[in-house]
Amino acid sequence: MERSERLATSVTPDTKQKFRVRAAENGMNMSEYLRHLVHEDIDEGSEGNSTKTAMVTAD
């Protein structure tokens, strides 16, 4: 399947560096690692095994 859509987000420099390290630890660049995480989450969700994350807001 052709990859033609993009996802984007903003993070702190510290978070980006930690993500870069985690990707390298898994033998991937950041794009590959993010793609892996997205697919892993979606695949788990389609099997009914996804963990629900509560969204917390500050008042």
Q: Is 53 part of any domain?
A: no
pLDDT at 45: 76
Tally of structural domains, the chain? 1
Q: Is the model more confident about 59 or about 5? A: 5
pLDDT at 10: 97
Q: Is the pTM of this model over 0.75?
A: no
Q: Is the model more confident about 46 or about 2? A: 2
Q: Which range marks the domain in which residue 23 is found? A: 13-44
Q: Is 55 part of any domain?
A: no
DSSP one-letter string for 1-59: ------------HHHHHHHHHHHHHTT--HHHHHHHHHHHHHHHHHTT-PPP-------
* Residue pLDDT, tens place only, 10-56: 999 999 999 999 999 999 999 999 999 999 999 987 765 545 555 55
CA angle, corner 35, sides to 2 and 12, nearest 5?
130
Q: Is 7 part of any domain?
A: no
